[in-house]
Chains A and B, each alone.
Chain A
Amino acid sequence: MSVNSNLFVIIFASAIFYGTPLVFAAVGELLAERSGVINLGVEGMMLLGAVSAAMVAANLDGPAAVVLPIALLAAMVAAGLGAAIHAFLVITLRVNQIISGLALTIFGGAAGLSSYLANVWGLGKQPAMNQFGRMDLFGLKKFPVLGPILFDQTLLTYLSWVLVVLVMVYLFRTRMGLHLRSVGESPQTADSVGISVTRYRYGHVIAGGMLAGVAGACFSLTIVPTWANGLTSGEGWIALALVIFGFWRPDLTLVGAYLFGALSSLSFTLQARGIDVPTALLDALPYVATIVVLVIVSNSRISKRLGSPAALGRPYEREER
């Protein structure tokens, strides 16, 4: 038996595979929250993205190199539109962010528009014709240990790494990133130096939604890979927890995403190995772990230094200055 079929290698490799949608969704939510807007609609936006991507993949004939980018684009547009509704309600109309976000999840969610559209379009009867397959990057797939973990993933995973690097640079090394953080920490100050709070908030909420759409597409184009009702099974909510876990930093959020990717894949990894553990216990693990990790993080010393953006959840009203 080669070292690459070692249980831990497989767990690491599937942690990255199953953690990828969490990276996209959590980094998207992080952008919105850095601008001061909580969006609890992640789960709904992911499902809207997943159903749109599945629709394109099922109905568009052509080579994968054409179909898949269009499917991703469709996912981003659909989820971005969902985010735009939330943005309009909470930024322009100053509706309570929590209730508006919940409304978005209910609207798009497993019993809402995503399920309706899938029924109307007749999706989910067969696997997607075009999928993001695993690619043997640099031909290093067979390299011991690191091969399966780093060089045998899908294009979406590699894109997520690029995204994390770009967002890190954007947030902490560019002028726009600095402006974004100031809008999230103190919109009054940002406004007084001529930064448009409204424009920054709209932009980042919608960008965050588009990334949630990509996260949804990860499910319908690689993980499942077809449409199934409610296929994200609550991962949108885990993404929200990951933003807190990662102290609103993309790099730490990526670590958290892979931790939860490992937990959510553990059930069938162990089963495939014939290791007998009650499935209910393993299925519940990611959810219980989210709670435990959240309690620890919320009470740690670091969270006082690296806490949430100060204006998170508060609408900005100019006349209140």
Chain B
Amino acid sequence: MDWLGPEEWQAVALSLKVSFWATLASLPFGILAAYALARWRFPGRQLLNGLVHLPLVLPPVVTGYLLLLTFGTQGAIGRALAEVGIVFAFRWTGAALAAAVMAFPLMVRAIRLSLDAVDPGLEEAAATLGASRAWVFLTVTLPLILPGILAGSILAFAKAMGEFGATITFVSNIPGETQTLPTAVYAFLQVPGGEPAALRLVIIAVAVAMGALFLSEWVGRRVARRVAGT
């Protein structure tokens, strides 16, 4: 990594850390939301669907501002969490939260698609043999949707790597703490002579995004083959 300056390397490493934790921490919620949307009929289902997909259509800066309002030091949730020592504002954890929220719709959509492809007859058959709901989920549903979970996680990771608007609004652009790869590109472009560094980061960003898309496509094809039963 000699060809990257320390500040660039710091941004790449931070982006990887932020994206990793954003993906990992949102995964249980992603599976739960996808399962609820695919399987449960309850009042407010459409509202949940709308909320999950909101970050996909809202301007990222709006999402970032909403995060600041709720999870900022003066925000209702932010203040309560700060009392137990969890702080998001202007910390890398805040960057991870912003990335997780922005990537959440992509993750939920991928998992939901694979849930829709699961034959409910298999789950029912397991239940007729006496398996509890939790056991059916763990031993029948979860293994069948694993490719969707993988594809969703890869997409979410790639989206998190590229998150800019919500991150810079919520946690600003602090080198070493919240300056991720995209915000670093932006920062380099603001200073004279910063283009070569920006370009190096752009190449990394493109490589990571393409790699993730290919990987996600490959996993998606495997799901399709499995559904087709070949």
Say if A and B assemble together. no
